[in-house]
């Protein structure tokens, strides 16, 4: 089973700041890594698929990179509405797994 480890677990940031969240896989998963945003009492929303492809309708300040075991979600010029928990997800092999989540607080 592939374990995904995100860092940090929590980050407090100011608007317009650049944020980087990392996700490390316990073994190589190629580019089968996706990023989701979940706000309180809402279902997760897809931001980035297959490591670096933006999902339809997602603001351009969200971007992803990486391959193999190390991946990064970058949020450029953070906005107040970006306060949420972010999860990475690997679908390279079953069981599909999620990272533990990174909670982003806006100061």
Partner 1 sequence: EVQLVESGGGLVQPGGSLRLSCAASGFTFSSYAMHWVRQAPGKGLEYVSAISSNGGSTYYANSVKGRFTISRDNSKNTLYLQMGSLRAEDMAVYYCARGSSTSLIRPVFGYWGQGTLVTVSS
The binding site for partner 1 (CB under 8 A) comprises: 32, 34, 36, 43-46, 49-50, 55, 87, 89, 91-92, 94-101
Least distance in angstroms from the C-beta of 66 to partner 1: 15
Least distance in angstroms from the C-beta of 20 to partner 1: 20
Count Cα neighbours of 98 within 13 Å in the Cβ-side half-sphere: 12
For residue 43, the tally of other CB atoms under 10 A from its CB is: 7
The phi and psi torsions of 87 (rounded to 5 degrees) equal -125, 140
Least distance in angstroms from the C-beta of 78 to partner 1: 22
Nearer to partner 1, 12 or 43 (CB): 43
Nearer to partner 1, 14 or 60 (CB): 60
Nearer to partner 1, 98 or 106 (CB): 98
* 94: preceding bond cis by omega (within 30 degrees): no
Torsion (CA) 27, 33, 39, 43 in degrees, nearest 10: -100
């Amino acid at each position: 089973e592939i374990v995904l480890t995100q860092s940090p677990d929590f980050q407090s940031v100011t608007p317009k700041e650049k944020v980087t969240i990392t996700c490390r896989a316990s073994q190589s998963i190629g580019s089968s890594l996706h990023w989701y945003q979940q706000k309180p009492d809402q279902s997760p929303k897809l931001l980035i698929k297959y490591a670096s492809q933006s999902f339809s309708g997602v603001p351009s300040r969200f971007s992803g990179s990486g391959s193999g075991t190390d991946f990064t979600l970058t949020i450029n010029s953070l906005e107040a509405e970006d306060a949420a928990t972010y999860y990475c997800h690997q679908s390279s092999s079953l069981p599909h797994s999620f990272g533990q989540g990174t909670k982003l607080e806006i100061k």
